[in-house]
């Protein structure tokens, strides 16, 4: 039996990591509608009586820096969203509860607002 060296251990760890990455990429639940060309697909719906919308944002704006080039609105007021390094999304309303898509972030914000109006967030 060959001796386990650091090189062999690192090679095995890299192979396992790559295999796990491939398995995650083809896992069920990764909807094509939510990952169209690396960006979530646009949506426009009424959720709990509030109109939520999301769409790719224009390049060069604030959202390109933090929101992955994506804009979300609740009743026409912009909900600032940000995509985390792990692919999850957070909003200014539900900052400590990451979700899987901007649509889920908009729904979580509506839930958190409990009927209150979303106020415009001042840009720096």
pLDDT tens digits in sequence order for the chain, 124 residues long: 567 777 776 676 666 566 555 444 444 444 444 444 567 999 999 999 999 999 998 755 444 455 568 999 999 999 999 999 999 999 999 889 999 999 999 999 999 999 999 998 776 5
Q: How many CB atoms lie within 10 A of CB 18?
A: 10
The gap between the terminal CA atoms of the chain, to the nearest Å, is: 63
Q: Which pLDDT belongs to residue 63?
A: 42
Question: What does DSSP say about strands 43-47 and 81-83: parallel, antiparallel, or unpaired?
Answer: unpaired
38/46 Cα distance (integer angstroms): 25
Cα-trace Rg, the chain: 19
Q: Which pLDDT belongs to residue 28?
A: 45
Q: Which residues of 1-124 form beta strands (DSSP E)?
A: 43-47, 50-56, 70-74, 77-79, 81-83, 89-91
Task: Return the DSSP state at 48.
Answer: T
Q: Which pLDDT belongs to residue 18?
A: 60
Q: Which CATH superfamily is domain 43-113 in?
A: protein ne1242 domain like (3.30.1880.10)
Q: Which pLDDT belongs to residue 121?
A: 78
Q: Which pLDDT belongs to residue 2?
A: 64
């Amino acid at each position: 039996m060959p001796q386990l060296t650091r090189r062999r251990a690192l090679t095995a760890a890299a192979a396992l990591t790559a295999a796990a990455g491939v398995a995650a990429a083809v896992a069920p639940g990764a909807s094509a509608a939510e990952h169209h060309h690396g960006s979530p697909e646009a949506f426009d719906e009424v959720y709990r009586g509030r109109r939520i919308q999301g769409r790719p944002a224009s390049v060069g704006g604030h959202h390109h820096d933090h929101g992955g080039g994506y804009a979300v609105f609740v009743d026409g007021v912009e909900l600032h969203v940000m995509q985390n390094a792990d692919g999850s999304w957070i909003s200014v309303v539900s900052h400590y509860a990451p979700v899987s898509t901007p649509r889920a972030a908009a729904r979580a914000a509506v839930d958190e607002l409990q009927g209150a109006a979303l106020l415009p967030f001042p840009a720096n």
